[in-house]
């Protein structure tokens, strides 16, 4: 593979990364020992929220009443797309039954978990789309109880649009809490909430680490790192479109990689020339984030062929993969490692992030090599069953007994033997 790096990434150091796991472990131990009171104390200190941790129905209704009708309409539009896509996913997984032999039947069932905790990030941005993505998907899977949570905006609590999105998507209860204390409260079932069987949703390094440490006691969707995006573009792409799509993802900040892979040097150089000027047009805080990502995390790579471009993309296994090139069907058939694929200049990663329908909770940091993103399947247990007549069980019992003794497992063998010669 012949590659020419026109711009290389120079990631900043992450001096805090080693301290986070130890700090999270300490917090989880304290909260588990101290119960809801300790979780609430952390919330008061770290979140700055002094109100009730679980929103009342009156508070939820008041938030909806205050919200602008256009905002409600937009959230309903996005929710409708997300719900339809999730319901279509659910329909692809059906219960089944097969006759293994006359009188011996086996099958599978897909059973939703009893309770799920769905996290929507706060911080610099209030990610209402994450509330829609997680809660709607859990509801489409058939989860019995769904608790949505997000960090409050200090003494203001949750934004009205966040509350509305959570209830619209189907949340049964809403927890006004963020960070490790929220993950612990969901997992341990504090404040009268059911214990979550699955925790889902993106978050900062503390939330991700808390999910990682709680995994096993509860299920999780994935351990997500900083968001990343890769654009494949050929000479048919428009430099301004490619540049804006890169800047759009750089807005996430200095730890979010953005890569351009192309076989056209003129396009690459035009995009690189445009990006600084586009960043300068953003509001100050957004520009600072995008500039840091451009300086430290952006790469531009020149390849000779489209096959080389595809190979490099599969090696990176990006969270978001956007193809702005000819022959989109070829790329759809060829590419194998990505969280979500965007084909053609008519779509963009922001569509997937906000309103198009497919889920935006996706594998990062190369995890797309082995897993996909959040879907109804994360909230379902696919279980199996079997039943048999006495005559149908006989050949299975004979083979089971012989294999068990081959392995040295005599008690296993005798559970098969007794089916061959039942006691009177």
Catalytic residue among 319, 346, 360, 407: 319
Cα 389 from Cα 369, distance rounded (Å): 44
Would you call 320 a catalytic residue per the annotation? Answer: yes
Question: CA geometry: angle at 52 spanning 51 and 54, to 5°?
Answer: 140
Residue 412 CB: number of other CB atoms within 10 A? 15
Q: How far is it, in rounded angstroms, from Cα 376 to Cα 143?
A: 10
Known catalytic membership, residue 319: yes
79, 127, 320, 360: the catalytic one is: 320
User: Token match 């006989």: residue?
Assistant: 394
Among 90, 105, 188, smallest CA distance to 143 is for: 90
In angstroms, the Cα distances linking 416 to 107, 205, 223, 424 are 21, 50, 42, 16
Catalytic residues: 319-320
């Amino acid at each position: 593979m012949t590659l020419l790096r026109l711009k290389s990434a120079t990631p900043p150091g992450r001096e805090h990364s080693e301290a986070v796991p130890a700090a999270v472990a300490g917090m989880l131990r304290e909260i588990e020992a101290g119960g809801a009171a300790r979780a609430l104390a952390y919330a008061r200190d770290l979140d700055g929220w002094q109100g009730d941790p679980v929103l009342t129905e009156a508070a939820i209704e008041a938030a909806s009443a205050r919200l602008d009708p256009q905002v409600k309409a937009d959230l309903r539009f996005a929710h409708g797309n997300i719900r339809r896509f999730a319901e279509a996913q659910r329909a692809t997984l059906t219960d089944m039954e097969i006759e293994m032999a006359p009188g011996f039947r086996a099958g599978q069932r897909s059973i939703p978990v009893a309770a799920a905790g769905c996290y929507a990030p706060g911080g610099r941005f209030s990610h209402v789309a994450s509330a829609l993505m997680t809660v709607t998907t859990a509801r489409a899977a058939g989860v019995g109880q769904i608790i949505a949570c997000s960090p409050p905006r200090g003494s203001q609590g949750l934004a009205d649009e966040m509350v509305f999105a959570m209830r619209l998507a189907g949340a049964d209860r809403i927890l006004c809490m963020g960070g490790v204390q929220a993950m612990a409260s969901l997992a341990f079932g504090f404040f009268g909430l059911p214990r979550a069987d699955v925790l889902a949703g993106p978050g900062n390094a503390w939330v991700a680490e808390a999910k990682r440490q709680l995994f096993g006691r509860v299920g999780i969707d994935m351990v997500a790192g900083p968001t990343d995006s890769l654009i494949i573009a050929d000479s048919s792409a428009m430099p301004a479109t490619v540049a804006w799509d890169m800047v759009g993802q750089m807005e996430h900040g200095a730890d979010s990689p953005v890569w351009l892979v192309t076989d056209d040097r003129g396009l690459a150089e035009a995009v690189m020339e445009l990006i600084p000027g586009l960043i300068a047009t953003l509001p100050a805080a957004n520009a600072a984030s995008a500039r840091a990502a451009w300086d430290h995390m952006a790469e531009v790579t020149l390849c000779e062929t489209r096959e080389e471009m595809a190979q490099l993309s599969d090696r990176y296994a990006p969270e978001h993969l956007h193809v702005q090139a000819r022959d989109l069907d070829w790329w759809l058939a060829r590419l194998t490692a990505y969280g979500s694929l965007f084909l053609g200049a008519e779509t963009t990663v922001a569509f997937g992030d906000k309103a198009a329908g497919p889920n935006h909770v996706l594998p990062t940091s190369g995890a797309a090599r082995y897993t996909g993103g959040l879907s109804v399947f994360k909230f379902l247990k696919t279980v199996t069953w079997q039943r048999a007549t006495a005559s149908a069980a006989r050949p299975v019992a004979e083979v089971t007994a012989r294999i068990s003794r081959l392995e040295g497992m005599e008690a296993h063998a005798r559970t098969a033997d007794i089916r061959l010669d039942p006691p009177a």
